Amino acid sequence: MNITINPFQQLYFSDDTQSENNYVELFSSEVLQTAIHPIFQGGNVVLSGTQGCGKTMILSLLRPETRIAYWKIGKDFPVNKQMRNFVSAGVNLTRSRIADIVQVTLHRGDEIDERELPFYFADFFNYLVVDDLIKSVETIGKHPEIFDSTVVLSNIDNFVATVARQDCWFGYLDEISTLEDLRRRISQRIDFYRRWVNGNLIDPEPPEEIRSTKTNIGEPIARTADCLREAGIISDLVPVLIRVDQIEELHRAFTDRQRKLLLLFRKMLNRAFASRDARVHYRAGTRRYGWTNPDYLGVWGSEARLENRRDYHLIDMDEELFARGETRNSIFERFSIDAFQKRVEYYFKSEAGVLKPHLAKSIFGKHPNAVDRIVQLQESKDNAQIDRALGVDSAADGGSWSEDWRNFLRNLYKQGHEGMLDAVLAAAWGRQTGGARSKRQHREDAPPIEAPWKERKWWRKERLDLAVLQLVTRCQQRFMWWGYDDIRSLSGGNITVFLHICHRIWDGFLKNESSLPEQRRTNLLNGGAIDRNIQAAGILFASNEWFNKLPEEPGGNARKNFVERLGVRLNEDMIKDIRMAYPGGNGISLAQTEFNSEVEEVLDLRVFLREAVGYGVLFESEHSSKVKSSGRRLKYYLNPILCPRFQIPEARTKEPYYWRLDELFDLIRKAQITISKLKKPMVRSNSSLPLFPDLDD
Amino acid sequence: MTLEQLRAKVREWDRQHTGDPIASAHYEQLLNQLQYHAEREWRVYLPAEHPDFNPNYMERLARWIGNLSDESDQKLLLEYALYISFFSHDDFAAMYRTAFDREIMPWVARKIGADLSLGAKQFHERVTYQIHKKTWFCPITDSMDINEFYKVNHLQGVGHRPHFSTLQYLAESAGNKNPGIAENISYYMANPRAESPPPPSLDLIVLLEDIVGSGSQSIDAVRWAAETLGKPVLFIPLIICPRGVEALRAEEVRLGGRLTLRPVIELRRGDLLGPERKGAEGWGIAAELECLANCCSTDVKFNYNPFGYRDTGSSLVTYSNTPDNTLPIVHDVGRFNNWSPLFPRVYRDS
């Protein structure tokens, strides 16, 4: 097996526009569930999900180039035959650099910029999309063998004449008569914008020709679609789908001016959605934080906000497809196994032959049980060491142990690794009282003859991970993860996280292999598996990398500090919970009544946490309180991929810790995070404040 | 220790709970960084091309760490590996360019009284003429690759570029003093080539050396050049240690303008280990490393002091060799050949 290739080296193929072939080989159709079908049908659709969940890969299916690539390779296009009849065009807000308009100014003050730059944004958007629409139509029309008669180019001159006559251009396309002229004229417009944002114009203000012909958002696109139908180039039954990918790019602001302007651009874009124009249908791809904040849903020129189900249909990939809150999920499991298989097949096609199915499961092996996780611990016969491992003299232990109990636990501990685990659970059981009303701990009686910590299956199951964590920590070892199920669970329903973990594990495997003589190497393509220690190291490495990536997004430093504090706190609380009263203590729960307060500080906290959820740092879900009268609560967990770094088991077995808001504020203060945003306008004062007021006295 | 064993060890170290609740995969990250550099900048280390050693840095690293049996010492060596400064061939080319642009050009301009009031074109022409026709660039010792220096900077031809340490030695120290050597050099500078018409004379001297530790090797050569040849001398050590700076600055003062010192890279005391650090704030692991260096020297019997020649305490390596100013745990095999060095050194004198 070639030990220089890591099939997971390149995580993002959706960004690789040079190679649709890669896309075809690697795209997994497992993700094309019923929930996704609206993408290929009528109406506006917003595809939302955290970074790397696969949105852009799905939207790429709308591109004619992708369909052509499938045909060339001889693979069936994965979209249902009934849903293939569409024309699509679009713009990626990152790649097109359209948001760079925020860098320019009209040199007549901020107010004028805020009033007029959104119109230039709209105009730039319109021309980009129309350009791509015409290109797509041409591409489709030239390949009737692939697209049947979705597009018929025979009447193209008629189309050009009609579109040029439309008043939405305000005369910009007057005297255009051929397709070539039309495309050139549109390119000139786009070229102007590119030169403007790059500061390449001598005159900083746009010329009169541009100023006086700015178009209304969406209207030229809709008219172009109409003209295509009128000229018979597409039939009335063919939907025109307009992709707008990476909308969250409009919220990557680093200054107040940028923030304001980008928000206005966003409102302008929302206006296209709000028009609910039947002539075209929009497909937005956005990360969650680009769509969950209500402030981002305002519509230019009105007080209205975009509404789900009225203006668009929202598909939240994380929730609907991959059910992020749950650790087992059949769609994601199939998706991840398929994505893994395709990658290995693609990169090793010359030597692989026929690979066995479900390679991910055989290469990574089985999920470790609790005993597997402690097998690296040395079995001890020394009583002092055993007592330390069981925490019997821990400062957190409010009670005391009789000699009977100590000997009982020690004897249990000495019975191999199963015994060690039983001893930890027995000690926790001993510290419990058996019920909320009882104050008498089990250890105040003699050790039981039966083993309730074994017989009470659910009690035991809920506490196994916590027992392992406490035991390994007290034995000065780390909680480690390996096996396909662990990797899938840590991925948190995100395919990019899954592939990233695979990348790191495979990298560790290759490095290890390169130091071995050939006869001792492992062939993963032929039944081999990756050693659990290499997997564990790779997972830990990936977890730390993911943590260190947090500052890459706006506001990421604050989130990183918050996660660091919260992660350490949760780990500490779990270690100290020697009674194992909170086996679900790898998360926190907040009362909704408190959380929904209109107090400004709480408002800021809400925004901060929701952004953290939107950026995929935290997972959030509602739940009912264990106290019936208390109402609904919100629970928050760290993204599972962060759990190895903070030594927190990622499985959610029971209720998380119930926190009050002031505990959360306390944590935020200790992390030295400022969560309030500067929403209020700057008050301009004529008198400047002294730099060192104390010294000036 | 083999590389396979080292990898297993690193994984085991990261599995250990050190008291910090955060599992940062610290040692795996260190090893990854080292591997990254090993595959790129550190790929070529000339002395390791010899059959007695392994040209693969990672294999040498494993053996080096395996010199020690105590795990905390092994961890410390692994951390230290990332502090060792390796200057690759490309780094040297960059230093040659820096020496030329940042130090030589301004010095030459000052010496010939050229300034920009003449106009940029004329200034450039004068300085360029002086540099290419009337300035002599020579090394102190043969560890300075003067030929490469000429090529990188497109310097034009002065046919002879002797090592000044050799000249000084022959003139002053090798048995009988020989003033004729200085006379011959002066004659050569006045008549660099026998041509008609005769080429211009060389009236500025630039001496270069790759690494200067205490300055003991260079100081006699630059002093001899400045005192006996009657021409201004610019001395450029590419890398210099604090003790060398002190010694040469004192010489600069003593020679009253005949010598100018302009290093490219000047180490701080905090970059050193051992007595030469003189308590300056160094790396976080400096104190532990110093203790380890002393212990190793006691056990292993290196050919040098625990902190290198004259206890300089540097942690430098170049692609062509490791200077003896660097800690012997990095480069020495020990008197009884009982130490696997990370960057084995080729000795200059037996």
B29 at interface of A, judged by CB pairs closer than 8 A = yes
Instruction: Give the residue from chain B lying closest to A536, CA to CA.
Output: B11
CB contact under 8 A, B25 and A541: yes
Contact B16 A537 (CB under 8 A): no
Count CB pairs under 8 A between chains A and B: 72
Peptide bond into A693 cis (omega under 30): no
Cβ neighbours of residue A541 closer than 8 Å, sequence gap 6 or more: A504, A508, B25, B28, B29, B32
Which residues does chain A have within 8 Å of residue B25's beta carbon, measured at their own beta carbons? 537, 540-541, 543-544, 645
Q: Mark A558-577 as b/e (b = at least 16 C-beta within 10 Å).
A: bbbbbbbbbbbbbbeebbbb
Among B17, B25, B58, the residue with its CB nearest the CB of A537 is: B25
Residue of B nearest to A572 (CA): B21
Q: Residue B226: is it exposed, middle or buried by C-beta count within 10 angstroms (0-12/13-18/19+)? A: buried
What values do phi and psi take at B162, rounded to 5?
-70, 160
The answer to whether the Cβ–Cβ distance between B21 and A571 falls below 8 Å is yes
Locate the chain A residue with the closest alpha carbon to B9.
A533
| Widest CA span in chain A | 101
* Long-range contacts of A170-174, Cβ-Cβ distance < 8 Å, separation of 24 or more: A170/A212, A170/A213, A170/A214, A170/A215, A171/A213, A172/A209, A172/A213
* Residue listed under structure tokens 């540099």: B131
Q: What are phi and psi of A616, to 5 degrees?
A: 80, 15
Distance between CA atoms of A396 and A576, rounded to whole angstroms? Answer: 6
A interface residues, B as partner, C-beta within 8 Å: 376, 472-473, 475-478, 480, 508, 511-512, 515-516, 533-534, 536-537, 540-541, 543-544, 564, 567-568, 571-572, 575, 644-647
Residues of A in contact with B58 (CB under 8 A): 515
Contact in structure between A217 and A124 (CB atoms under 8 Å):
no
CA distance A539 to chain B (A): 10
Residue of B nearest to A478 (CA): B15
> Which among B151, B80, B106 has a CA at the least distance from the CA of B315?
B80
Triad A348, A349, A353: Cα angle to 5°: 105
SS3 A376: coil
The rounded Cα A627 to chain-centroid distance in angstroms is: 33
Q: Are A133 and A221 in contact (CB under 8 A)?
A: yes
CA distance B298 to A112: 77
Which of B7, B17, B24 is closest, CB to CB, to A476?
A: B17
Amino acid identity at A55 = K
Q: Which residue of A has its CA nearest to B4?
A: A515
**CB–CB of A670/A565 below 8 Å?**
yes
Reported pTM: 0.84
Task: State the nearest Cα–Cα gap between B10 and chain A, in angstroms.
Answer: 9
| A39 in Cβ contact with A59 (< 8 Å) | yes
Q: Are B11 and A534 inside 8 Å of each other by CB?
A: yes
Residues in chain A: 697
Q: Quote the CA–CA distance of B19 and B132 in Å, as a whole number.
A: 63
Chain B residues with CB-CB distance to A544 below 8 A: 23-25, 29
pLDDT number for residue A695: 52
A487 to chain B, minimum CA–CA distance in Å? 17
Give dist(CA B270, CA B279) in Å, integer. Answer: 8
Instruction: Determine which of B3, B4, B12, B54 to mutate to test the interface with A (most A C-beta atoms within 10 Å).
Output: B4
Do residue B18 and residue A476 have CB atoms under 8 angstroms apart? yes
Pairwise CB contact (< 8 Å): A572 & B24:
no
Q: Are A512 and B15 within 8 A, CB to CB?
A: no
Q: For A418-443, how does the pLDDT look when each residue is reduced to its tens digit (9 = 90+)?
A: 999 999 999 999 999 877 677 888 88
3-state secondary structure A547-567: HHCHHHCCCHHHHHHHHHHHH
Element (H or E) spanning A634, and its range?
Answer: strand A632-638
Q: Report whether B314 contacts B328 (CB < 8 A).
A: no
| Chain B nearest-CA residue for A547 | B24
Q: Are A522 and A3 in contact (CB under 8 A)?
A: no
Q: Is A375 left (phi over 0), alpha (psi -120 to 50) or beta?
A: alpha
User: For residue A331, what pLDDT is reported?
Assistant: 83
User: For residue A541, with 0-12 CB atoms within 10 Å meaning exposed, 13-18 middle and 19 or more buried, which class applies?
Assistant: buried
Nearest to A511 among B12, B23, B35 (CB): B35
Give the residue from A174, A176, A81 showing the smallest Cα distance to A134. Answer: A176
Facing A645 at nearest CB: one of B7, B11, B24? B24
Q: What integer pLDDT is reported at residue A689 of this predicted model?
A: 67
Residues B103-106: contacts with CB under 8 Å, at least 24 apart: B103/B234, B103/B236, B103/B262, B103/B264, B104/B131, B104/B135, B104/B206, B104/B234, B104/B236, B105/B131
pLDDT of residue A424: 95
Cα nearest neighbour of B11 on chain A: A537
| DSSP string for A268-296 | HHHHHHHTT-TT-EEEEEEEGGGTS-GGG
Residues A473, A470: Cα–Cα separation, whole Å: 5
Residue of B3, B16, B21 with shortest CB distance to A568: B21
How far apart are the C-alpha atoms of B249 and B305, rounded to whole Å? 26
Contacts of A547 in chain B (CB under 8 A): none
Looking at chain B, which residue has its C-alpha nearest residue A513? B4
Q: Which residues of chain B make contact with A477, given a CB cutoff of 8 A?
A: 15-17
Alpha carbon of A380: minimum distance to chain B alpha carbons (Å):
17
The minimum CA-CA distance between B72 and chain A, rounded to whole Å, is 15
Residue with tokens 């519509």: A299
Spatial CA neighbour of A348 closest among A525, A574, A112, A552: A525
String of b and e for B9-21 (b: at least 16 CB within 10 Å)? bbbebbbebeeeb
B248 to chain A, minimum CA–CA distance in Å? 45
Q: Cα–Cα distance between B3 and A143 in angstroms, integer?
A: 56
Q: Does B346 touch chain A if contact means CB atoms closer than 8 Å?
A: no
- Output the DSSP codes for A391-416: TTT-TT--S---HHHHHHHHHHHTSH
Q: CA nearest A535 in B: which residue?
A: B11
Structure tokens at A349: 């096609």
Tell me the two tokens of residue B258. 């005949």
Q: Is the ipTM of this complex over 0.85?
A: no
Q: In A75-218, where do the E strands start and end?
A: 87-92
Interface check B22 vs A, CB under 8 A: yes
Report the chain B residue with the minimal C-alpha distance to residue A565. Answer: B22
With residues binned 3-state (H G I as helix, E B as strand, rest as coil), the percentages for chain A, rounded to 5, are 55, 10, 40
Tokens standing for A638? Answer: 């760290």
User: Buried b vs exposed e over A486-524: b needs ≥16 C-beta within 10 Å?
Assistant: bbbbbbbbbbbbbbbbbbbbbbbbbbbbbbeeeeeebeb
Question: Distance between CA atoms of B1 and B62, rounded to whole angstroms?
Answer: 6
Rg (CA), chain B: 23
Which of A511, A519, A547, A645 to mutate to probe the B interface, most B CBs <10 Å?
A511
Task: Kindly report the number of other CB atoms within 10 A of residue B70's CB atom.
Answer: 10
B24 touches chain A (CB under 8 A): yes
Q: Are B222 and B195 in contact (CB under 8 A)?
A: no
Q: Could B14 and A537 be called an inter-chain contact, meaning their C-beta atoms sit closer than 8 Å?
A: yes
Nearest CB partner across the interface for B16, out of A477, A541, A543: A477
Please tell me the distance from the alpha carbon of residue B210 to that of residue A581, in angstroms, as a whole number.
66
Q: Do the Cβ atoms of A93 and A250 come closer than 8 Å?
A: yes
Among candidate residues A198, A197, A282, the one with its CA nearest the CA of residue A247: A282
**Binary contact (A516, B14; C-beta < 8 A):** no
Residues of chain A with pLDDT under 70: 11-21, 322-329, 352, 396, 398-399, 436, 677-697
**Residues A671/A564, Cβ–Cβ less than 8 Å:** yes
- Predicted confidence at residue A653, as pLDDT, reads 78
Tokens encoding B50:
């010899």
- What pLDDT does A696 receive? 44
**Distances from the Cα of A249 to the Cα of A98, A129, A549, B153, angstroms:** 10, 17, 17, 46
Residue B329 to residue B340: CA distance in whole angstroms: 9
Q: How far is CA A510 from CA A346, A488, A514, A538, in A?
A: 18, 21, 6, 11
Please answer yes or no on whether A478 and B4 come within 8 Å at the CB atom.
Answer: no
pLDDT for the residue B198 = 81
Single-letter code of the amino acid located at A684: R
Q: Which residues of chain B are under the pLDDT cut of 50? A: 350
Q: Identify all chain B residues contacting A646, using CB atoms and an 8 Å cutoff.
A: 21-23
Q: Which residue of A has its CA nearest to B20?
A: A568
Other CB atoms within a 10 A radius of the CB of residue A667 amount to: 17
Say how many C-beta atoms besides its own lie within 10 A of residue A606's C-beta: 17
**Min distance A604 CA to chain B CA atoms (Å):** 28
On chain A, the residues whose CB falls within 8 A of the CB of B7 are 511-512, 515
What per-residue confidence (pLDDT) applies to A73? 86
With beta carbons under 8 A apart, name residues in chain B contacting A511. Answer: 7, 35
Token pair in block for residue A24: 């075809």
